[in-house]
Amino acid sequence: MKRRPLTGRGWGCLLSGILLMIAANIVSARPLLYLGVLLVALPLICLMIVRVPRRRGEVRRQISTDLLAVGETSRVQVRFDLWAFGVPNGIWRDTLPTAVRGEATGAYPQDALRYDLEGVRRGISVLGPLMLRTTDPFGLAQREQAFGDTRTITVIPQTVALDPLPTKVGAAGGTAQTRSTRIGQGADNLIPRPYAAGDSRRRIHWRATAHRGSLMVRQEEEEASPDAMVVLDRAADRWDRPGDEPDPLFESAVTLCASVALRLAQDGYSVDVVDSSGNALGALRGHEEDRDDLMIALAMVAPRGETHDLRSVVGSTPPGPLVLITGRLPDEDAEKLSTAGAAAPLLFAAEASDDAMSTVREHGWRPAPLPSSAVDLADTWASVLPFQAVPHV
């Protein structure tokens, strides 16, 4: 909001001076004329004092967390270097986007400019510029000026703690169902095999050689890698049309998607997160940067595109756990919804009839309605687990 050059006091002084000058001419009172001229000139002089001096400044912001989650609080430290004739007194205010909220204002000058931010809406937004409003000593004129560059801030989805998958699901969905070609690291993943021409003698397994009576060498064993997949159905016809306010059901779906992916990764799965068109949103392979990449992708996700057949999304190798998060699920779509051969198919639908839920249950899914509040996600997740969940370690 652009501020007027004069404060309320300044406008009152100016109007009072004009009225006194008019009254002085009517009643022919020279003292009233002098007083009116003074009251008119004073705010104009104060306006020149405030607005004429040239000022330039540099702003640097430091945020305590690189990625701010919805509902999380972060501290912002602001370094504001101002070059001006004299040190003006005023009020500083940092411009906040709608994705965050906080008391980003205070008196100037002061030693340190700091405030707390709370994430309220996921997405990538712009923080800044810093605004400085100064007034003259009489409080008649004011000046508001922007300083410094803006800073990008990323608000990622909120995550909730979920119960781990039962160990039986991990065995069935992992080593028994899928096998990855990733090579294991460390001596525990080495098995002996007979020596072949060209093998380095440094790879001789002396203990196995002594046991077998013939040369044996170390060979890396392919690790059995349990794979899991999380599918976020963000097709445009599944959700309400995006408006000024976010759809609480879609926000709950994104929160559940992030929470499930992290839960499966903690359970030891190699997790792929895709949308209903097969586009990759992220993959968790045990690296910290994988988590950040997934959260940034989910911070920007929105309803769009169309839904494809789930079997084409999953591919020829079915995962162990398969988690499908969708919006509206018509009865005719429920009839065609396959589990794609997954060992543990779990489904969450924001809007589905009892017949649709019964149909997908007959197809092998364990379905549950998607709640609109993140508070209920943990209980909803626990209700679809195929077996008794093991307690958190």
Q: Distance of CA 219 to CAs 80, 180, 223, Å? A: 60, 16, 12
Number of domains in the chain: 4
Nearest to 348 by CA among 373, 330, 366: 366
Numbers of helices and strands, H then E, in the chain: 10, 19
List the Cα angle 222/226/230 in 5-degree steps.
140
The dihedrals phi and psi of 224, each to the nearest 5 degrees, come to -75, 115
Three-state secondary structure call for residue 7: coil
Residue 193 has a pLDDT of 78
For residues 124 and 266, give the distance between their C-alpha atoms in angstroms, rounded to a whole number: 27
Q: Are residues 243 and 377 in the same domain?
A: yes
For residues 225 and 178, give the distance between their C-alpha atoms in angstroms, rounded to a whole number: 7
Q: Are residues 360 and 250 in the same domain?
A: yes
**Which residues have C-beta within 8 Å of that of residue 361, sequence separation ≥ 6?**
367
Q: pLDDT tens, 357-392? A: 999 999 999 999 999 988 999 999 999 987 544 333
Q: Are residues 216 and 239 in the same domain?
A: no
For residues 126 and 315, give the distance between their C-alpha atoms in angstroms, rounded to a whole number: 39
Q: pLDDT tens, 6-29? A: 999 999 999 999 999 999 999 989
Residue 158 has a pLDDT of 94
Whether 241 maps to a domain, the answer reads yes
Residue 190 has a pLDDT of 54
Whether 87 maps to a domain, the answer reads yes
Q: Are residues 373 and 247 in the same domain?
A: yes
Q: Are residues 262 and 341 in the same domain?
A: yes
Check whether the bond before 129 is cis (ω within 30° of 0): yes
Q: Are residues 377 and 279 in the same domain?
A: yes
Whether 392 maps to a domain, the answer reads no
Q: Are residues 64 and 20 in the same domain?
A: no
Residue type, 314: V
The dihedrals phi and psi of 332, each to the nearest 5 degrees, come to -65, -35
Q: Are residues 287 and 148 in the same domain?
A: no
Whether 389 maps to a domain, the answer reads no
Whether 180 maps to a domain, the answer reads no
Element (H, E) at 186: none
Residue 318 has a pLDDT of 82
Nearest to 265 by CA among 281, 288, 299: 288
Q: Are residues 232 and 370 in the same domain?
A: yes
Q: Do residues 328 and 348 touch, judged by C-beta distance below 8 A?
A: no
Whether 360 maps to a domain, the answer reads yes
Q: Do residues 312 and 336 touch, judged by C-beta distance below 8 A?
A: no
Q: For strands 142-147 and 130-135, give the pairing.
A: antiparallel
Q: Are residues 300 and 377 in the same domain?
A: yes
Other Cβ atoms less than 10 A from the Cβ of 37: the count is 14
Q: Are residues 216 and 229 in the same domain?
A: no
Q: Do residues 147 and 82 touch, judged by C-beta distance below 8 A?
A: yes
Give me the CATH number covering residue 108. 2.60.40.10
Whether 390 maps to a domain, the answer reads no
Other Cβ atoms less than 10 A from the Cβ of 269: the count is 26
Give me the CATH number covering residue 300. 3.40.50.410
Q: What is the dihedral of CA 148, 154, 160, 162, to 10 degrees?
A: -140
For residues 57 and 148, give the distance between their C-alpha atoms in angstroms, rounded to a whole number: 7
Point out the residues of the chain with pLDDT beneath 50: 170-189, 220-225, 388-393
Whether 341 maps to a domain, the answer reads yes
Residue 109 has a pLDDT of 84
* DSSP sequence for 195-211: --TT--GGGB-HHHHHH
Nearest to 132 by CA among 93, 81, 82, 187: 93
Residue 207 has a pLDDT of 64
**Which residues have C-beta within 8 Å of that of residue 241, sequence separation ≥ 6?**
none
Range of the domain at 195: 187-220
Nearest to 363 by CA among 317, 306, 327, 310: 310
Q: Are residues 210 and 247 in the same domain?
A: no
For residues 346 and 359, give the distance between their C-alpha atoms in angstroms, rounded to a whole number: 14
